[in-house]
Structure 1
Amino acid sequence: MSIAKRLASQTAIYGVSSILGRVLTFLLVRVYTGRFAAAEYGIVTGMYAYVSFLNVVFTYGMETTFFRFANRPGTDRRELYDRVMTLLLLSSAVLTAGLMLLARPLMSLLSLPPGHERYAVWIAAILGLDAVAAIPFARLRLENKARKFAGIRLANIGLNIALNLFFIVLCPDVLAGKYLAGLRPLVAAVYDPTVGVGYVFLSNLAASAFTLLLLGQELLDFRFRLSLEPIRPLLRYAYPIMLMGLAGMVNETLDRILLPRWLPEGFYPGQSNLAAVGVYGACYKLSILMSLVIQAFKYAAEPFFFAQSTEQNSPRTFALVLKWFTLCCAMLFVGVSVNVDVVAQVFLGRPEYRQGLGVVPVLLLANLFLGVYWNLSVWFKLTDKTYYGTYLGFAGAVLTIALNFLLIPVLGYMGSALATLACYFMMAALCWWLGERHYPIPYPVVRLLLWLGLAVGIVALSWWVPVAEGWPRYGFHALLTLGFVGVVAAVEGRRLRVI
């Protein structure tokens, strides 16, 4: 099997847990937007924005560090696994306890009334459990156990979905007498209506605990090893990645934290700022379809890039991977953006959420450039110059904060979306420019920019050309989507056969 086909095969397996699994989770958006008002869903959006930052702190770059050191000649992978696991166990215990003790002040950051401190406690437990599971999952990826990885991920997602449906749909309906009246005594014993959106966090917590049980073999294989001298090189390599990750989270999630603070009251008539966050968060979920593809690709590609780094033709391989990654993401960008009204009818329950659909194409394109940046970043990871990633991440963070400050009061959540796009485009452009000087790779930059320009043009055409509602509009959009896919297949398809 060729290198590219092997990577595609691994990506497909990881995609079962990442894309398919996340798509199943994505279906919960329909449940949330149908059962919760925008202001309530704003709580979930805000809480998980903070979780994104804290996930980076809890793992502090140890996954990438584990891959890098595991592929160095002479490394004892078993000993490395024990040392990294020891670090994460200790740090996760300390951080989880600290967050639980600081639950009340943390809740005040979201301007939530007293009584919601339990949300922060549950979130802290989720973060701790997920951090402990991170390195066993990385070990499965390193050992090419993609099927086991995918199976455990799917089990986690399946339980999370089942519990969400039980507590958010079944229990309220049974208590309301809509169906299964005989179950009312049982439901009344296990369900507390005052928890409300808290069941989103409780379901996540139960699924995270279940995941550790499924990783029992990898956890029982662990031996506690704490010695400062061997872990210093690990920490030196990891801390720039953590800083890079924190800067990345600023670019990815800070808009949902800043939006309720910098959005003028009454900007959206009849809607509170927290409700605006809920609308933006729900529409942001539609753009996460691009992130799902990127995540599945990353699971397979990160160990692949490190393993291929010693091959003579690795630069050509990396260029080929970026090309096809970008083309696939461009087709997804067109498919979702052109047909976003249909997607919204399926996934957004209440009409109040659909007023923010204009941000979806912008955020999809932003996430596409984030994926491009991640591909381009291979040069500083392979040359051990991870501090460049920190510089690029912080440059993006500064731009994100500045543009949100300038644009939110004028454009609302569209300003946040444009800030995200500008940030990821700048980071990708700078990463390519620096890579050309430190680790040249023959990326087909001009060709890819032309394809992206065509994709943007088709999306703009679908939004700006007036077409009658109903089947004429659906048909026009389907024609545009299939036309773009057909052109890509006709021009680039013959090249695929020789990979």
Structure 2
Amino acid sequence: MSALKKLASQTATYGLSSIVGRLLNYLLVPVYVRTLSVYDNGVMTNVYAYVTFLLILFTYGLETGFFRFANKPELDDKRVYSTALTTIVGSSILFSLVMVAFSGPVAAWIDYPRHPEYVIYFAAILGLDAISSIPFVWLRYQNKALKFVSGKLLSIGVNIFFVLFFLVLCPYLLKNDPENFLLNLYNPGIGVGYVFISNLVASVVTLLFLYKELYFGIGGMDKKILKSMMIYSIPLMFAGLAGTVNESFSRIILQKELPFSPTENTIQLGIFGNVFKLAIFMQLAIQTFRMASEPFFFSMYKQVDARMVYARVMNYFVIICCLIFLTVTLYLDIIKHILKPVYFEGLVVVPILLLAYLFLGIYQNLSIWFKLADKTRFGLYFTIFGALITIILNYALIPVYGYTGSAIATLICYVSMAVVCYLVGQKYYSVPYNLKRITAYLFFTLALYVAGDFIRLFIFNPVTAPWFFSMTFLIGIFIIVVFIAEKRNLRIKNVASQNY
């Protein structure tokens, strides 16, 4: 239990910046949908989808690679850090310069030939963020939670400040005080470009915040360590790329495969992109867990009861994700008002996406086996398998079902990856997961969701007191049933251990 308490503590600590930060960023969604057109929201969604791919290339798996090699007793962790940081700095500068040199052709390739500046902005952002990623990993490794959280929140705060400045304050001043000196910094023709500029400023400030970690680590490199780290990390990079196909490919292909005009396709992408953000709570749970669990799993894998702990962690993780799924889906008629009514047509995909992310979290939990067993090539195999499913199903379903087809493809992909990862993992690194209990929780959650949907459609009108109490009652049923089941399970295990 002490190990689980340690994981819970790390999750709370490192998850704080993730949860608070993502929620603060989420507050910008109403700003975007009210200050930018649906088309511009589509542009933003599309550009950030490409950026997600590129950030994997810029960091090429060295974050996880650092944790693996820094925890090896025969290696100097400072030497490992210096090697990783120096390598990332050099490659990031090179990659960014290449992007700037070819900004025109790249802008045309992503369908924005009139805006090569978008490519230049993100060449700088990607380089800066890749360099910052290694000092942040070092802070996690050193358990310097305060500085880690401060750096993440600083970046988010700066980004929010400049988004509000350019998209809210400046248009207001232009309308009501056109002589204000602040308008010297503003050009209304830039539009959605100010979202990218705000991101760039935040990336610069973040790198400056980490100057001590940069100064401490830059310059030294051990070629032997680098070679070993690259052999370990490159498969993770390809796995990350394939995984990003599962995450972002739909937002790229939608613009090209939807059977409408280019403008309407971008509008549909804008709707899907903002509705997609309603799955943020499940994304937060997964991201927070991953950040805390990775160093935790590596640090205790030599313990005698490690595999039992991993199994219990999975159990509690699924419970939390099921609770998030129910909370968001049952209260969706309230949550949806974050968006403008023009986006409501896309709400049908929210339960599908939440369930898809739940299975992504299960997969990431299962994936610890190939990281601990130094068989990271399996991560590549699984994500390529998932990427193929994503690509095939997106091409097959989008022309027929639009973005709903894309959401279905995402769900099928993550379910398939989780199943295959479990089956293969039990052969190489068996963990006694309680499949019956996990499956029971999943089906019980879906049954409660269906009951809530039935109540909303046929019994009580949404956003009324009877409806609200009914939804809350369903969530309460889930909590009570899980509490009873888990308490009974712990009691049985305690009795068994005493008899033993």
Query: What amino acid is aligned across from residue 305 of structure 1 in structure 2?
Result: F
Q: Does 1:278 align with 2:270?
A: yes
Distance 2:476 2:68 in 1: 41
* Kept in 1: contact 2:239–2:384 (CA 8 A): yes
Q: Counterparts in 2 of 1:98-113, with a 5 A limit?
A: 98-113=98-113
Distance 1:496 1:219 in 2: 46
Q: Deviations over 1:32-67 (max 9, x none)?
A: 011112111001000100011011000000000000
Three-state SS of the structure 2 residue aligned to 1:358 is helix
Three-state SS of the structure 2 residue aligned to 1:385 is coil
* Kept in 2: contact 1:337–1:361 (CA 8 A): yes
Q: Does 1:296 align with 2:288?
A: yes
Distance 2:179 2:270 in 1: 31
Cα distance change, pair 130–494 in 1 and its aligned pair in 2 (3 A): farther
**Which residue among 233, 242, 247 is the counterpart of 1:247?**
242
Partner of 1:32: 32
Q: Does 1:222 align with 2:217?
A: yes
Q: Deviations over 1:139-196 (max 9, x none)?
A: 111111122211111111111111111111111112111xxx3x84222111111111
Distance 1:313 1:340 in 2: 41
**Which residue among 205, 209, 216 is the counterpart of 1:210?**
205
Q: Counterparts in 2 of 1:42-441, with a 5 A limit?
A: 42-114=42-114, 116-177=115-176, 181=177, 184-226=179-221, 228-265=223-260, 272-345=264-337, 347-348=338-339, 350-441=340-431
Query: What amino acid is aligned across from residue 167 of structure 1 in structure 2?
Result: F
Distance 2:135 2:285 in 1: 22
* Kept in 2: contact 1:65–1:237 (CA 8 A): yes
**Aligned-pair CA distance for 1:243:** 0.5
Distance 2:379 2:168 in 1: 43
Query: What amino acid is aligned across from residue 487 of structure 1 in structure 2?
Result: V
Distance 1:462 1:117 in 2: 48
Partner of 1:474: 468
Partner of 1:4: 4
Q: Deviations over 1:424-454 (max 9, x none)?
A: 0000111110111110101111111110111
Q: Deviations over 1:59-105 (max 9, x none)?
A: 00000000001111211111111111111011100111111122222
Which 4+ residue blocks in structure 1 deviate beyond 4 angstroms? 493-499
Q: Deviations over 1:20-42 (max 9, x none)?
A: 11111011111101111211100
CA RMSD of aligned residues (A): 1.8
Query: What amino acid is aligned across from residue 140 of structure 2 in structure 1?
Result: R
Distance 2:36 2:341 in 1: 12
* Kept in 1: contact 2:366–2:421 (CA 8 A): yes
Partner of 2:485: 491
* Kept in 2: contact 1:17–1:153 (CA 8 A): yes
- Greater CA deviation, 312-321 or 1-10? 1-10
Q: Deviations over 1:102-161 (max 9, x none)?
A: 2222222332251x1111111111100010011111111111112221111111111111
Cα distance change, pair 40–438 in 1 and its aligned pair in 2 (3 A): same
TM-score by length of 2: 0.95
**Aligned-pair CA distance for 1:337:** 1.1
Query: What amino acid is aligned across from residue 365 of structure 1 in structure 2?
Result: L
Q: Deviations over 1:337-372 (max 9, x none)?
A: 111121111x21x21111100101100110111111
* Kept in 1: contact 2:79–2:221 (CA 8 A): no
Q: Does 1:447 align with 2:437?
A: yes
Distance 1:159 1:496 in 2: 46
Three-state SS of the structure 2 residue aligned to 1:221 is helix
Query: What amino acid is aligned across from residue 461 of structure 2 in structure 1?
Result: A
* Kept in 1: contact 2:333–2:463 (CA 8 A): no
* Kept in 2: contact 1:175–1:187 (CA 8 A): no
Gaps of 5+ in 2: 495-500
Distance 2:331 2:354 in 1: 13
Query: What amino acid is aligned across from residue 298 of structure 1 in structure 2?
Result: R
Distance 1:415 1:236 in 2: 37
Distance 1:344 1:470 in 2: 11
Q: Does 1:463 align with 2:436?
A: no
Identity of aligned residues (%): 43
**Aligned-pair CA distance for 1:404:** 0.4
Q: Deviations over 1:386-440 (max 9, x none)?
A: 0001000000000000110111011100000000000000001111101111101
Cα distance change, pair 410–338 in 1 and its aligned pair in 2 (3 A): same
Gaps of 5+ in 1: none
Distance 2:462 2:415 in 1: 34
Three-state SS of the structure 2 residue aligned to 1:265 is coil
Q: Deviations over 1:453-488 (max 9, x none)?
A: 111122222224423244133333232223222322
* Kept in 1: contact 2:104–2:113 (CA 8 A): no
Q: Deviations over 1:188-246 (max 9, x none)?
A: 11111111111111111111111111111111112413454442111111110000000
Cα distance change, pair 5–227 in 1 and its aligned pair in 2 (3 A): closer
Distance 1:105 1:375 in 2: 40
* Kept in 1: contact 2:334–2:463 (CA 8 A): no
Count of equivalent residues:
489
* Kept in 2: contact 1:88–1:131 (CA 8 A): yes
Distance 2:475 2:119 in 1: 43
Distance 2:75 2:324 in 1: 40
* Kept in 1: contact 2:39–2:266 (CA 8 A): yes
TM-score by length of 1: 0.95
- Greater CA deviation, 97-106 or 463-472? 463-472
Three-state SS of the structure 2 residue aligned to 1:463 is helix
Three-state SS of the structure 2 residue aligned to 1:400 is helix
Query: What amino acid is aligned across from residue 335 of structure 2 in structure 1?
Result: V
Query: What amino acid is aligned across from residue 447 of structure 1 in structure 2?
Result: R
Partner of 2:497: none
Q: Deviations over 1:289-337 (max 9, x none)?
A: 2111111111111111100111111000111111111110110011001
